[in-house]
Chain A
C-alpha cells in the first residue's frame, strides 16, 4: 500500500501542474479557437524568471511569485499584439503555425538570456515531508496542490461571478453576438491571452523547485498540458482540471507499476485512446460546460 500512496502523491503533484497548464490551453481555446503551441514556453519562462528573481537575486518569494506571474501575463499581451493581431488573414492553420514559430523563438531568446545550463530552486518552505500511510508527501507538493486549487477557485469565481468573466464567456460562445452588446471583443481576446500566459507562468513558478529549469523544459510540459486539455475536452475548464489530474495519476501509476520508460508514452497513449473512444474528451468540449 505505501507504494500506491507514493505513486498517488507523485501523480497528484504532476497532475496539478498539468491541470494548470491545460487550463491555460483550454481557456484560450474557448475564447479564441486557437491552440497556442507556444504555451509551454510561458511555463519555461515563468520558471526561469522565478529562479532569477528569488534564489539568484534574493527577492522575497511572494514578491518574486507575483512579479513572475505579472511578467508572463504581460508577455502574453505582447505575444497577442505582435504575433497574432498583426496577421492579415487569420486562418486557424496560419495562427497555429505562428504559435509554433513563436514557441521556437521564445526558446531561442530564453537560451540567450539564461544559457543552456539547468538551474535549480529550493522548495518554497523547509518543512519536512508529511508521512501519510507510510508514504511521503513533499511540502512542495502541498504547495503545488494548494496553489492550483486556489487558482481553479479564483478562475471559477471569475467566470461565474464577475461581469468581465461572463463577457469573456459570451465572446467565447459567440463573438458577433457579444460585440452587438457593446463588449469589446478584441480586448477580451487580449485579456484571454494575458490570463492564459499568466497561468503558464504560474505553473512555471510552482514547478521550479521540483525540476531542473532550462530553456528546453517547456516543450514537453506544453505537450503534456495539451494532452490533458484534450483528455478533459478542449475548451472546457473543468475538463482541463480533470484531464490534468487523470493524466498525472495515470502517468505515476504506469511509472510505478510498469516501467519508468512509460512516463512520456502514457500521455500520448491516453490521448489516442480518448480520441478513439470519446473524441470530445471526458467532460465534452467547448460550449458544453464551463466554470
Chain B
C-alpha cells in the first residue's frame, strides 16, 4: 500500500535519511523504531508532504507522492497523528474533531461525518464528555486521544502515528496501544513510530529499526521482539515486567 524506496532527506546540508526502504501492506500494522534523532519523524514528514525536496521513491497505492502538497496527500487517504499531538488548544474538542473531517465537509459528507463522530466518541468516551471544553485544557492522554480521533475523522486508509505514547503514564499508553490494535482489527492500515519499542512491536505485524538515517533491521514483530540485539538496544531489562498480564 505504502512503498518507500531509497528515500533520502536533508535538513540544509545535513543528510537525515540516507536511503531508507520500507513498505506497509494493506491491513498491516507496522512499527518503526529507533533512538532519538534516528530520522523516524523525518520519514513520516516526508510521506505527508511536509518536507519537500526528498529524493527516492514514495508511493501510495501505486501513485508516486513526489511534489504533492500535504492537502493532496490527506485527500489521497494518508493521515498523520503528529509528534507532540498538536491539538488546537483554543478550539473546542468537538471543533478539533470536526476539523479532522475538513476535506469531507468540503465534499458535503455530513451524514458520514456524523456517524464517524459517534464512532470516535464510543472509541474514546472521555472525548464525548469533554466535547465542549477547550482542547488545551485536556490532559496529555486525552489530547493524544483527541489527536488520534481528529486524524480518524478524515477516514484515512493509512494512519501514521509519531510517538503516540510519548509522555504518557503506562496505563494511558497501553490504552492507546490497545485502541490501535482494535483499529487494525477493523481493517485500518497503520504505521507507528515509537521509542517504546516493546509496546509497539507487541501490537505490530512487522517492524523496522532505524539507526542514524539507515534501516538496520527489518522483520516480523515477533522475531524482532526475540532478537537479542534489539533487546539490548531498545527493549531494556524490565521487559518481563511490562508484558505481565498481557496474553
Contact = CB atoms under 8 A, between A and B. Distances in A.
A287 B71 CA distance: 24
Contacts of B71: 179, 182-184
A182 B90 contact: no
Interface string B70-113: 11001100011010001111110001001110110100000000
A287 B100 CA distance: 20
Interface in B7-50: 48-50
Report which residue of B49, B86, B100 has the largest number of chain A beta carbons within 10 angstroms of its beta carbon: B86
Nearest to B150: A181
A233 B100 CA distance: 29
Nearest to A173: B88
Contact of B95 (A166, A184, A288): A166
Contacts of B70: 179-180, 182
Contacts of A36: none
Contacts of A173: 88-91
B64 to A, nearest CB: 19
B46 to A, nearest CB: 13
A290 B90 contact: yes
A176 interface: yes
A169 interface: yes
A174 B91 contact: no
Q: Interface size class for chain A? A: 20 to 34
A180 B105 contact: no
Contacts, number: 69
B215 interface: no
A8 B86 CA distance: 45
A174 B49 CA distance: 16
B188 interface: no
Contact of B90 (A167, A169, A179): A169
B154 interface: yes
A272 interface: no
B99 A183 contact: yes
Interface in A146-197: 163, 166-167, 169-170, 173-174, 176-184
B67 to A, nearest CB: 15
Nearest to A180: B80
Nearest to A290: B90
Residue among A170, A174, A181, A290 with most chain B CB within 10 A = A181
Contact of A163 (B50, B79, B102, B154): B102
A174 B88 contact: yes
Given A173-B88, A173-B90, A184-B71, A179 B50 contact: yes
B74 A180 contact: yes
Interface string B169-193: 0000000000000000000000000
A187 to B, nearest CB: 9
Interface string A226-257: 00000000000000000000000000000000
Contacts of A66: none
A61 interface: no
Contacts of B80: 180
B48 A167 contact: no
Contact of A182 (B75, B86, B95): B75
B86 to A, nearest CB: 4
- Give the 8 A-B CB pairs with smallest separation, nearest first: A182-B74, A177-B86, A179-B70, A182-B103, A182-B71, A173-B88, A184-B71, A170-B88
18 contacts: A163-B98, A166-B95, A166-B99, A170-B88, A170-B91, A170-B99, A173-B89, A176-B86, A177-B82, A179-B50, A179-B71, A180-B50, A180-B151, A181-B79, A181-B100, A182-B70, A182-B102, A184-B69
